[in-house]
Structure 1
Amino acid sequence: MLTDYHAHLEKGTLTIDYLTKFVETAKQKGIEEFGISEHAYHFYETKNIVSKPWMEERRYYAMDDYVNLFKKAEKLDLDVRMSIEMDYTPCRHEEMESFISSYPFDYVIGSVHWVDDFGIDLAEFRKEWDRRDLYETYRAYYDQIITLAQSNLFDIVGHIDLVKIFNHVPKDEEFLMEQYERVTDALKNSKTCVEISSAGLRKPVGRLYPEPELLSLCYKKGIPIVLSSDAHEPHQVGENYEASIELAKKTGYTTLMTFKDGERKEVELG
């Protein structure tokens, strides 16, 4: 079986017609389990969790409309899971838990895109990389991944080493392995799976998330995986999955996790 649990409608509309394009592409790519995980910051209902000027310019959805879209999809026999990608926000665990429990998500992705007010993966902030200490940024980023895992609020951690997106990578391999060890120790004691995301191949770094060394530690510590594309357009669903599957199998993985109604099930990796 193949999954793609990380996809976004944000470049289009919350309509059945647009959603159907994603679902049809998933079927064409042989993906049996497909889900939409819209960015939580787009919704008015998450303003009490995280609010930054960049986000407020992009906060234009209501959760009722989102939930109703999936109800329509179910009536039309469109096989699609409903999820959300939450910007993990330290010190907002109660607010995040309240939001997550208020809606019938099949699963929830937690991701780190911000280190304080630094949007690490945003083109608008790219010059900020030259102004900051690389090692401090990495340590602060992985500190958040650790507390994300410890919160046990999320089923999947999104693009776990997103911090490398613009190819700013510490040369000190010992430092990197220290971060990988810390984060996998936290994940092995949580319910959180790791996604192998092909999105990194279309980003400046040109590499899968996560790095092989990080994924190897995940495997050794029994941390489950899913496959994802982080598609922002229909044609990106299942993109570059050959590389993701090869990495998973080379690492030793033979199974994936699937999700429905908040419950997870282990299946054979296709």
Structure 2
Amino acid sequence: MVDFSHQDLMHSHHSHSGSYVSHAVDDLDSIVAKAYSMGFKTFCLTEHMPRTSMNYLYPEEIEKSYTIESLNKNFNNYYEHAKRLQQEYKDKMEVLVGFEVEGTDKEHLLLAHSFKHKFDMCVGSVHFLHGIPIDFSVDKWEEAKSLTSDGTTRTLYKDYFQLQHLVIDTLKPSVIGHFDLIRLFETTELVELSQWPEVYDQVVKNIQLVNSYGGLFELNSAAIRKGWDSPYPKPDMVKLILELGGKFCLSDDSHGLAQIGLNYHKVWQYVKDMGITHISHLTIRGTIEQSVEELDGSSFWDQYKNL
């Protein structure tokens, strides 16, 4: 069994592979092997769950002639594959078999709830608003905004966090994925959410709901490779989560070998700059919390020293 008694408990709660996701690369076996070689002790497999309508397929999935039936078959194959890898690595690294929720609509969430019991964990995300993917491109983000009641960013944010609340309330996901993903393609200067009381209040409600059942907010390094100077969530969100007593974990949201642990050293500096004192991670047996001071001494960070 994996030894959880020492400080080198590096983890990622969010990953994808080219075996099961159309916009990822590299096979699942290679992904897990690379995570192990880098010194991860907990690595969560979280391929996207199938969507319930062709209206929610991404453009590249349509180009590849994906269907709802093929997505379901693909997801079932993933589950069996992931369980085999979990057994294969059980004495070396804890592999948690999970899935990521797209957060499209109520039908999708009910499907997620129906098979959640089979999995070790899930990542609760929102990727679509008004039927439009909000992290695919600026044009799609703008299209989603145009479909709000008044066509404003303010209302788009409100809609996002209201749908996120539904995801959280329905599924109680172990990990909240990229909490402020809605900001990815915001082209204007970042607004202080306190200027939008109805948005701010919804954010507070979401954080409090996650805290009520012990969910974790991921510090997701993918935002850095997408052009941000911080991981998700941005500093104002981190401060609010801390003020409300929320807990954080780490994720790389990798979509291939090159992204496993990518920019983790930058995320770790962000952790210290934001004054986060403890980091949590999931195990089969429950959640483990460690001090940032202890984790800072991990040999895991040696591989980043020359970057």
Deviations 1:141-188 (A, max 9, x none): 011222323335311110000011113356541236825434323333
Greater shift, 121-130 or 185-194, is seen at 121-130
Q: Give yes or no for the alignment of 1:88 onto 2:103.
A: yes
Pair 4,169 (structure 1): closer, same or farther in 2 beyond 3 Å = farther
Matches of 1:219 and 1:128, distance apart in 2: 33
Identity across the alignment (%): 22
Greater shift, 60-69 or 109-118, is seen at 60-69
SS in 1 for 2:213: coil
Match of 1:22 among 11, 31, 36: 31
SS in 1 for 2:40: coil
Q: Shift in Å at residue 204 of structure 1?
A: 4.3
Q: How many residues align?
A: 259
Deviations 1:186-236 (A, max 9, x none): 333233210000101111445420011111111222211110111101110
Match of 1:65 among 53, 77, 84: 77
Contact 2:42–2:283 under 8 Å retained in 1? no
Matches of 1:95 and 1:12, distance apart in 2: 22
Matches of 1:226 and 1:196, distance apart in 2: 6
Pair 206,251 (structure 1): closer, same or farther in 2 beyond 3 Å = closer
Give the match for residue 2 of structure 1. 10
Q: Shift in Å at residue 67 of structure 1?
A: 2.3
* Pairing of 1:132-171 with structure 2 (within 5 A): 132-168=151-187, 171=190
Q: Give yes or no for the alignment of 1:188 onto 2:208.
A: no
Q: Structure 1 length as normaliser, TM-score?
A: 0.83
Match of 2:131 among 97, 117, 124: 117
Give the match for residue 35 of structure 1. 44
Pair 114,233 (structure 1): closer, same or farther in 2 beyond 3 Å = same
Give the match for residue 270 of structure 2. 247
Q: CA RMSD for the aligned pairs?
A: 2.8
List gaps (5 residues or longer) in structure 1: none
Matches of 1:18 and 1:263, distance apart in 2: 28
Q: Shift in Å at residue 244 of structure 1?
A: 1.3
Give the match for residue 100 of structure 1. 116
Contact 2:129–2:144 under 8 Å retained in 1? no
Contact 2:207–2:244 under 8 Å retained in 1? yes
Q: Give yes or no for the alignment of 1:175 onto 2:195.
A: yes
Pair 66,150 (structure 1): closer, same or farther in 2 beyond 3 Å = same
